[in-house]
Structure 1
Amino acid sequence: MKKTAIKLSLLLALSGLFLQPVSAQTKAEIFDEKTPITWLGMDFSQMKFIGSEEAYRKELINAEFVGKYIPLWENFFLKEPKKYNPARAVHRTSVAFAMNVTEKVNAALTKNFFDTNPDHFKSLTEKDIDTIIKNYDFLGNKGIGMMLIVEGMDKGRAQGGAWITFVDMDKKTVLYTVFRTGNSRGFGFRNYWAHPWPVILDDFGSDFERFKKY
């Protein structure tokens, strides 16, 4: 009888171990260089071209932006890893890649990207970013994900603006997000608007220790 009770107790204890919920990721782990991070790419679902459509019309239309330019910019992270380097931004030697997460979002975009109100270059809040992430499909990926949620591309400012966002992909929660800008420059539409993204990432990397405190 005693042996049976002991066996039952052991079984219950072991089952309790297996039933324990997976622990959530934390903000502190973003800044712990031993914690793996997955680069998810750039989300353009919130993006606006600031200025009249006519100001950009010679260079693109909405369909070209989705079908041509977004994939080109994403591809820079694969073709030019020394310059487009999310691992450097988070002080890692490497990060995993799962850019199909944002590729799925971008490929479905059909909206008008043009906005004449310069105040809309940055109009999202951290609460808005929370809502975006709650509705995300992370395609089964786990752990900490990192992405740029691009908000504005302004020809007048010669800047692109994006939210560097870290998420717990399992819980669909934002661990940390901050808006940063990068200057645009270069010849041709593709190169001109490709420039802000590595600038934003490197800027975050330069301020890594400062962001760690907030």
Structure 2
Amino acid sequence: MKKRLLSILLLILVFSYSAYAQRVEDIFSNSDYTVTWFGIDYSHSKVIGYVSTFGGNTPITATDLRDKYYPSWNHLILDEPDKYDVASMIRRKSVAVDLNPIKQANAATPVDSVEAAVTPYYMLADIQSFVSLYDTKDRAGIGLVFIAESMNRLKKEAIYHVVFFNIETKEVLLQERMRGAPFGAGIRNYWAGSYGNVMSQIRDEQYKKWKSKYAVKATSQKPTW
């Protein structure tokens, strides 16, 4: 009886460990893990220069960015799935979606700290600290988020950190800093073009590079005879 109980406890421990022991390889080699798209985190993003000139001929404020454009840029991905196809970007049949943690983070952005003279250039430790604050509740599997670093109107670029993480432990599994070129008419579409550009880069070339680097490769074994 004791041996049976010990075996059951051991199985429970092994199952519990396996549920949390996600590795970067699992992004590319394990379709059993659900990938959840959490959206674009703008809560640490900086406008390089003055917000007042960020919109060109359309004056905007930091409050406009936080309350109008951050939600709009996130919902546009869901509203136009053919144009912003997260699942095809990472070679998945489908992805789950939960924008609530990022909505909370974006809504709490201090409007007096949006402007900066230079891009902050976040490091892995910074990205890990941002992810650790997400309220992902009962979700499991692998999380995917774009963390916006900066938007520079003069250089015509936006910087995003593409981040895959273990939802249960909040451990960052893969982080890549990428540059997106904005395009389109109007403030919303123009800067949405920048993350659309990043998504195209991932779909067309970056995903292949990640998979080549991180995916588990099958090893050939010599016959024993």
Same fold (TM over 0.5): yes
2:147 maps to amino acid: I
1:164-203 aligned within 5 A: 164-203=162-201
Question: Could you say which residue in structure 2 is the equivalent of 1:111?
Answer: 111
1:132 equivalent to 2:133? Answer no
> What is the CA distance between 1:93 and its match in structure 2?
1.7
Which amino acid counterpart does residue 180 of structure 1 have in structure 2? M
CA distance in 2, matches of 1:95, 1:54: 37
* Counterpart AA for 1:210: K
Matched position secondary structure for 1:195: helix
Q: What RMSD, in angstroms, separates the aligned Cα atoms of the two structures?
A: 1.7
For 2:148 and 2:96, the matched residues in 1 are separated by: 21
User: Which runs of 5 or more residues in structure 2 are unaligned?
Assistant: 215-225
Corresponding residue number in structure 2 for 1:44: 42
Q: Deviations over 1:174-213 (max 9, x none)?
A: 0000011111122111111111112111211222121221
Moved more, 28-37 or 144-153: 28-37
Structure 1 residue ranges, 4+ long, deviating more than 4 angstroms after superposition: none
Give me the TM-score of the superposition, normalised by structure 2: 0.85
The change in CA–CA distance for 1:77 and 1:33 in structure 2 (over 3 A counts) is farther
Query: CA deviation digits over 1:26-85, x for unaligned, max 9?
Result: 100111262431101011111001112342374311111111111111111211001111
* Structure 1 contact 39–97 (Cα < 8 Å) conserved: yes
Moved more, 28-37 or 62-71: 28-37
Aligned positions of 1:1-214 closer than 5 A: 7-20=1-14, 21-23=16-18, 24-32=21-29, 34=31, 35-56=33-54, 58-112=58-112, 113-117=114-118, 120=119, 123-206=121-204, 207-212=206-211, 213=213
Distance of 1:37 and 1:59 partners within structure 2: 38
TM-score (norm 1): 0.89
How many matched pairs? 205
More displaced 10-residue stretch of structure 1: 52-61 or 198-207: 52-61
Which stretch shifts more, 150-159 or 16-25? 16-25
What is the SS of the residue equivalent to 1:27? coil
Q: Secondary structure at the match of 2:25?
A: helix
The one-letter code of the counterpart of 1:148 is F
